[in-house]
Amino acid sequence: MNDKKPLMDYRRVQKLQTPLLLTGALLSGVGTSVSVPLVILGIAIMLFAIVIGVLYYRCPHCGRPLGRIGEGGAYCPHCGKALNAPVEEPVRSITVPAYAKLNLTLDILGKRDDGYHEMQMIMQTVSLHDDVTVTLTDGKGITCRVDGAALPCDERNLAVKAARAFCEAMDYGGGIDIALIKRIPSEAGMAGGSADAAAVLRALRAISTVPVILLTAKREPLDAAALEVLGGKLGADVPFCIRGGTQLAEGRGEKLTVLKPAPRFFVAVCKPDFPISTPALFARVDGVTITDRPDTDAMLAAIEHGDADTLCANVRNVFEQALDGEQRERIETIKCDLLAYGAKTSAMTGSGSVVFGLFSDKAACRRACEALQGECVKTFCAEFV
């Protein structure tokens, strides 16, 4: 691994090689008429000079062989860095935030032939986030640790799947460690798993110019578009989580259109103590007649014009109409409580069970979070990012 300090500096190799070769040649030349062991010693010294040249006559920055091109030259012919420039410690570890999302609108247009549903959603990144640390390790394989939630650390975790997919796409066989600090609630409709997967992909892309990956991987680093395509194969929300901001998501959720940043709001995020399974709720939607759909065009216009009131008037999620009786009642109660505490609007996000309220005033948002926090509901104060 060339990101470790080499045993011998390339300048020392340069200085040593010529005298060693000359000494070796002299000894073996003299040895032919004096003694055989002297010849062997001479040859051994010459071989040693060649071996240290191959192993250590390398660029101190990228670790690639300098060959003849580097001789007397000031710059590496591969990475272009000045050979005598101070060597920076390569970044082997990076921590990135994995932001949660909210659905300002969620409409289901129909069921597709591939079993998925055709969606039309306006999504917004919020400040509630997990922390994802990706570290390149000396070993092989992917390891994962999770703090803050009882989640699997194997291939069932989307973050591990993302790292695996990245390694396959770059044909990289080195070791990767993932450490997740979870804050985004699970089965909540906030794309917690997708956010972690997206963060792993972004972190690995950022770190993929490190020599250990550049030299070991058999393919070029992925560009932003390739990263989103890769993310789309992991889950419908992953491309959105890679981009973030305010976006219109269509198709399965992976076809994104960048929107102007929505007017800023503070968000009271309320997670009731029951999870909702996304596939199960999609299955229920198929048997329900949806009556109250979001006016996506009106929401798009509100965002375009920065019209906060019209935005609030158009927040809607058709999934709420597919909830079973008890869940629906609990969600409605939280929505009403949020409105009573001053929210400008409230709705369920994604396939739930998180309900959010939008506030223009931070203190009012905090008061609502404090008031609704309890045994059956966990609350988080956040804002649009």
46-54, 258-266, 278-286, 360-368 -> range binding ligand C5P (CB under 6 A): 278-286
> For the window 50-69, what string marks contact with ligand C5P as x by the rule CB under 6 A?
--------------------
Q: Binding to ligand C5P by residue 284, rule CB under 6 A?
A: no
101 catalytic per annotation:
yes
Shortest reach from residue 340's CB to ligand C5P, in Å = 33
Shortest reach from residue 351's CB to ligand C5P, in Å = 8
> For the window 68-107, what string marks contact with ligand C5P as x by the rule CB under 6 A?
----------------------------------------
Shortest reach from residue 59's CB to ligand C5P, in Å = 44
Residue from 13, 106, 213, 236 in contact with ligand C5P (CB under 6 A): 236
Shortest reach from residue 250's CB to ligand C5P, in Å = 10
Q: Binding to ligand C5P by residue 117, rule CB under 6 A?
A: yes
Annotated catalytic residue, options 107, 196, 237, 337? 237
3-state secondary structure the chain: CCCCCCCCCHHHHHHHHHHHHHHHHHHHHHHHHHCHHHHHHHHHHHHHHHHHHHHHCECCCCCCECCCCCCCCCECCCCCCECCCCCCCCCCEEEEEEEEEEEEEEEEEEECCCCCEEEEEEEEEEEEEEEEEEEEECCCCEEEEEECCCCCCCCCCHHHHHHHHHHHHHCCCCEEEEEEECCCCCCCCCCHHHHHHHHHHHHHHHHCCCHHHHHHCCCCCCCHHHHHHHHHHHCCCHHHHHHCCEEEEEECCCEEEECCCCCCCEEEEEEECCCCCHHHHHHHHCCCCCCCCCCHHHHHHHHHCCCHHHHHHCCEEHHHHHCCHHHHHHHHHHHHHHHHCCCCEEEECCCCCCEEEEECCHHHHHHHHHHHCCCCEEEEEEEEC
Annotated catalytic residue, options 3, 101, 130, 177? 101
19-27, 74-82, 112-120, 136-144 -> range binding ligand C5P (CB under 6 A): 112-120
Shortest reach from residue 124's CB to ligand C5P, in Å = 18
The region, left, alpha or beta by phi > 0 then psi within -120 to 50, assigned to residue 288 is beta
Q: Binding to ligand C5P by residue 189, rule CB under 6 A?
A: no
82-90, 139-147, 220-228, 277-285 -> range binding ligand C5P (CB under 6 A): 277-285
118 vs 383 by CB, closer to ligand C5P:
118
Residue from 252, 255, 284, 328 in contact with ligand C5P (CB under 6 A): 252
309 catalytic per annotation:
no
> What residues have CB less than 8 Å from 259, skipping those under 6 apart?
122, 245, 246, 247, 248, 300, 303, 304
Residue from 64, 94, 116, 321 in contact with ligand C5P (CB under 6 A): 116
* Binding-site size, ligand C5P (CB under 6 A): 11
Q: Which are the catalytic amino acids?
A: 101, 237
In the complex, which residues of this chain contact ligand C5P (CB under 6 A)? 116-117, 119, 235-237, 252-253, 278-279, 282
